[in-house]
Amino acid sequence: MDLMKKVLLGFASIAMAFTLAACGSKTVATTSGGKITQDEYYSSLKDTSNGKQVLQEMIVNKVLEKQYGDKVTKKVVDKQYNAYKDQYGSSFKDILASNGMTEASLRKQIRSNALLKEAVKDNDKISSSDLKKEWKSYQPKVTVAQILVSKKSTAEDVIKQLNDGKDFAKLAKKYSTDSSSKNKGGKIAPFDDTNTTLDSDFKDAAFKLDEGKYTTKPVKTQYGYQVIKMLDKPAKGKMSDHTKELKERIWNKDMSDAPTLRKVITKVLKKGNVTIKDKDLKNVLDEYLGNSSSSSTSSK
């Protein structure tokens, strides 16, 4: 999965190197035609959509930091950062560079995203009906093995051999074209219904299997044809045993829902006592606060 898609959720995307806060007579650059001061740079920048977006994002992040900063520890940021680093391995720095990021800016964006999630958890209340709806699609993490081949006829031959009693792990090693799993008996990492990296047809076929069973027909996916065997399928259990997990799933979905995030940010800003001092930027928060952003937002 693309690194930026996982990190830049919601409003936590501050990718620009400059800030609107810097203003003064200090020289930013010199040319044969004269110098460019911070005042000139600021005046030019604030009229652009990018400049206004940066200010908007800076304000929101300042307010989020004030309201939820104590809930996002260094440990939380480090855990997510290390997860990305482990996921991408030796290509981690190249991926950062290709997205115009540094290790420091990634950490800042992870923190901003975590702050926003705390705001979502605080302001987006979950009802019993929300939990029941989420429970219907809930699937505990399962573990499967798979054999990936390029031809349907090969997959059918593999299934025939399984029907004749051949060992799945040995067939995976012999036939599978998936180099990351074939020497592990075809076993892949556990996944649930929220997984976005696996093919949807693959997941659908897997979830229908009982433990110890395999697909009796080849499963066509974007990668080829797959034969899947269910190794471990935990019982779903009772909804009351998974309340915390269900809430987390709902909040994660809300982090990708623009209308929900807009409502949450509006609530956060209304508590933030924000005052726009520059009359040319008085409408910068209208997207969230309407005309009230031209002055100071109320403080609760």
Q: How far apart are CA 146 and CA 218, in angstroms?
A: 11
Q: For position 1, what pLDDT does the model report?
A: 38
Q: How far apart are CA 294 and CA 300, in angstroms?
A: 18
Contact between 107 and 7 (Cβ < 8 Å)? no
pTM comes to 0.70
Contact between 228 and 145 (Cβ < 8 Å)? yes
pLDDT tens by residue, 210-225: 999 999 999 999 999 9
Q: Read off the tokens for 90.
A: 């030796």
pLDDT tens by residue, 1-13: 344 444 544 444 4
Q: What is the mean pLDDT of each run of 10 residues along the chain (300 residues)?
A: 45 41 74 90 87 90 96 95 83 90 93 96 94 92 97 98 97 94 93 88 96 97 97 94 93 92 94 92 89 48
Could you give the domains of the chain?
17-46 (no CATH), 56-137+239-273 (no CATH), 138-234 (3.10.50.40)
Q: What is the DSSP string of 49-81?
A: HHHHHHHHHHHHHHHHHHHHGGGS-HHHHHHHH
